[in-house]
Amino acid sequence: MNLRCSEVELLTTKWGAMLDGSGIYKVAWQRAEEMLGSQVLHPFGPDWDVFKVRGKIFLLLTAVTGQQQMIIKAEPEDCQALQQQYPFIAPGYHMNKRHWVSVYPHADLHERLVEELVTDSYRLVVEKLPRGRRPIDPSSVH
């Protein structure tokens, strides 16, 4: 994704419905299910929906902190830019804070941003898989 603050700001004005309630789960879940080779598991118990591709995590959905959140993988530069731009994006809960961010429901959170973040997280994970294990060419994911 490699977004910088100014690019992130520009995109948010164009991106569909806002998600200030439980819609974050629905949108993230639907997008993750569309990803080729995606499967949802519960290795951390019933309070965690963990989406994997070829055994590697690309999305976590939980409300164990009392607030719904989605946790996604991102490039370190993107993690920083997203956290600077949005008050509803924070370092990833119980994950490597450099490579993961948590996204919380908020009045300014747009549906398309959730979809894009899930897609980019999936793409990052697939890119790291050996070519023979990739369910899809990561450059073709959009």
Among 8-17, 103-112, 125-134, name the one with the lowest average pLDDT.
8-17
**Predicted structure pTM score:** 0.83
Q: What is the mean pLDDT of residues 33-44?
A: 96
12 or 72: which carries more pLDDT confidence?
A: 72
Q: What is the pLDDT of residue 140?
A: 83
- Are 18 and 111 within 8 A, CB to CB? yes
23 or 20: which carries more pLDDT confidence?
A: 23
DSSP-assigned beta bridge partners for residue 56: 53
- Judged against a pLDDT cut of 90, whether residue 99 lies above it is answered with yes
